[in-house]
Chains A and B, each alone.
Chain A
Amino acid sequence: MKKITIPIGPQHPALKEPISLRITIEGEVVKHADVRLGYNHRGIEKLAESRTYIQNIYLVERICGICSHSHTTCYVQGVEKLCGLEVPKRGLYIRMLVCELERIHSHLLWLGVAAHEAGFDSLFMYTWRDREVVMDLLEIISGNRVHYAINTIGGVRRNLNEIQKEKILEGIKFLKKRTEYYTNLGTTEPTFVARIAGVGILPKEKAIALCAVGPTLRASGVSSDIRKDDPYAAYDEIPFDLCTADTCDVLGRVVVRVKELIESYKIVEYIIKNLPQGEIKVKAPRKIQPAEVVSRYEAPRGENIHYIKSNGTDKPERLKVRAPTLANYPATIEMLKNCFVADIPLIFAAIDPCICCAERFVELIDAKKGNSTVLSMAEIRKKYYSTETKRNVVWPL
C-alpha cells in the first residue's frame, strides 16, 4: 500500500495550540510521525536577560497559564539557591499548598480534555465544573485565578488566615468525593475504557530510553517523581505515595492522574493541619554574585528544569527553561507509531501537551536548500514583514 504524509496542524481542529505533526500513514495506520515546533515562540528566555530578578518572576509565570506556579517556583528556587537564602518553613508550606492546588486543577482540566477527546463530553463538563472549586480556592489564596503570583524571592507574598484554611478544607472535601466518583466511573464505564485501553502504548524500556517525564513516565510503570527523588521545598516532610500504573497506555495515564489527585488532596489536608507558624519570607538581595544553578521541580505534567546564570548584576545572564512537554515529544512519536488516525488527538492529548511551554527555540531552515540560518530581528522584519514584499505579492490562485 502506498504511504502518504498528511499534515496535522499548525492550525487544526484536533489541536488546542499550534504545532505541526507530519503523519505518514499507510491506509488507516500511522507509520511515522514528525513533530515540528516553533509556531508559538515568544522569546521569553531572551527577554529575561533584560529584566531584573524580581521582574522575571512575573515573566516566567507567563510561560504557561496552567502551570504558572510551577515555573515561578522552579525559577525562584534557583534564585534562592544562588543567593543562599533560607526560606522560612511557613513560606515553603504555603508554596507547596499552591503547588498541590495547581496540580489538582491541572489534572482535573486534563481529565476533562481526555474525556472530551475520547468522546465522553458529559465527564468533560462535570470535571470542568468541579475544577471551578479549586480555581476559587486559588483565587481566595492569591487574588487571581490563573497567575497566582504567590512566589517571591525568599518566600511567598501572602499569608493564610483561618477563614481561608477552612474554605480550603471544605473545597477539598467536596473534590475528594467527586474524584472518587470519577475513579469508579472512569475505570468501570465500558465505553470509556474500551476507547482508551490499549491506545498509545509506550513500553517501560522505551519510556526510560526516550526520557519521558511525569505521569506519562509513571503510567509506563516507572516510579519517578522529583518530589520523591530530589525533594525540594519541604516535600521530604510530607507523607504521600507515588502513583504508577503498568498498563502503559492512555488508560494508565488516566489512572495515574486520578490517583495523583487523591494524593494531592491528602497533601493539601496535611499542609493545612500542620502549617508551621512564623515568617513567610526573608529579604532578598537585588544583586547576585556570579554563579550558576539548575533547579528541578515536579510540575503537573512532569519534570520542569530551569537553569539560571548570574553575573553580579541585578539581571540574570542566562535563563534556560526545559518544560516537561518538550521532554515528552520523543515518547509521543513512539506512541503514535502503529496507531489509527482517529487515535492521534487522544494520544497527543494524553501527554497533556502545553505547546507554548515548550517553545523555547526557533530554527530557520531554508525550505529549498535545507541549511539553517541565523537572522537578527531587524533582518526578519525586513525580509518577512516589509511593506514592499506585501505589495509585490502575487495571488497564487
Chain B
Amino acid sequence: MKLKPAAFIPELLRHLFKRPATIEYPFEKLKVPDDFRGTPVLKSELCIVCRACVRDCPAFAIEIETLSEEEKKYKMTIHNDRCIHCAQCVESCPTKALFMNDEFEIATDSRLKLKAEYTYTRPKKSGQQSQTG
C-alpha cells in the first residue's frame, strides 16, 4: 500500500463544475415510484365489512363502526395520524377495497385533520355491486 498525498484534490475540483446533488424541494418535487406507500384510501363501494384490516393493522389506525344493523350502514375511520404506512391493510383486504395513493405531504397542524371518515352501505352481493357502483 503506497500512500499518495492529496489524492482527493482532482475529485474535489471535478465537483466544482457539477450540478448540485439536491433539488429545491418546495418548488421542485421528486417523483415517487409507482408502488409508493402513501396514504391509505378506501373505495367504500367495494368494502364487505370483513374487518380484516382492523384485525391486522399494527397501529390500530382503522376503526369500523356499525351505524345501522338493518340497513347495513357502516362508518370506517382511518386515523392517518396513527398510520405507519405499512400497507398491511391493503394486503389483508380480500376485495381490494383499500389502496395507498402517492400522497406524502400530509403534515398538518392538527391530528384531527388527518382523520378520514367513510360512511357507506354494505352491498348485498359484493361482486355485482362493485361493478355497477
Residues of A within 8 A of B (CB): 51-52, 54-59, 61-62, 122-123, 126, 129, 132, 139-140, 142-144, 147, 149, 152, 157-158, 181, 184-185, 187-190, 193
Contact = CB atoms under 8 A, between A and B. Distances in A.
B41 to A, nearest CB: 15
Contacts of A54: 56, 58, 88
Nearest to A167: B33
Given A129-B21, A143-B37, A158-B35, A58 B58 contact: yes
Interface stretch (B2-10, B71-79, B114-122, B123-131): B2-10
B86 A189 contact: no
Given A140-B33, A143-B33, A143-B37, A51 B1 contact: no
Given A54-B88, A143-B37, A143-B87, A189 B56 contact: no
Interface size class on chain B is 20 to 34
Interface in B1-50: 1-5, 7-8, 11-12, 21, 32-33, 35-37
Contacts of A158: 35
Contacts of A139: 32-33, 36
24 contacts: A54-B56, A54-B58, A55-B56, A55-B57, A56-B58, A58-B58, A58-B88, A122-B12, A123-B8, A143-B33, A143-B35, A143-B36, A143-B37, A144-B36, A144-B85, A149-B86, A185-B8, A185-B11, A188-B1, A188-B3, A189-B3, A189-B5, A190-B4, A190-B5
Contacts of B3: 188-190, 193
Contacts of A157: 87, 91
Nearest to A181: B11
A241 B59 CA distance: 41
Pairs of residues from A and B, 3 with the lowest C-beta to C-beta distance, nearest first: A58-B58, A55-B58, A143-B37
Contacts of A132: 21
A40 to B, nearest CB: 19
Given A143-B36, A149-B86, A188 B2 contact: yes
B84 interface: yes
Nearest to B1: A187
Q: For the complex, would chain A's binding face be called helix, strand, loop or mixed by DSSP majority?
A: helix
Contacts of B37: 143-144, 149
Contacts of B57: 55
A51 B58 contact: yes
A185 B7 contact: yes
B7 A188 contact: yes
Contact of B4 (A126, A152, A189): A189
Contacts of B32: 139
Contacts of A57: 58
A139 B37 CA distance: 9
B33 A147 contact: no
Given A58-B88, A149-B88, 14 more contacts: A56-B58, A59-B58, A122-B12, A129-B21, A143-B100, A144-B36, A149-B86, A152-B91, A157-B91, A185-B11, A188-B1, A188-B2, A190-B3, A190-B5
Contacts of B4: 188-190
A144 B11 CA distance: 32
Nearest to B59: A58
Residue of A58, A122, A126 contacting most chain B CB atoms (<10 Å): A58
A147 B58 CA distance: 14
Nearest to A132: B21
Interface in B45-73: 55-59
A209 to B, nearest CB: 30
Nearest to B57: A55
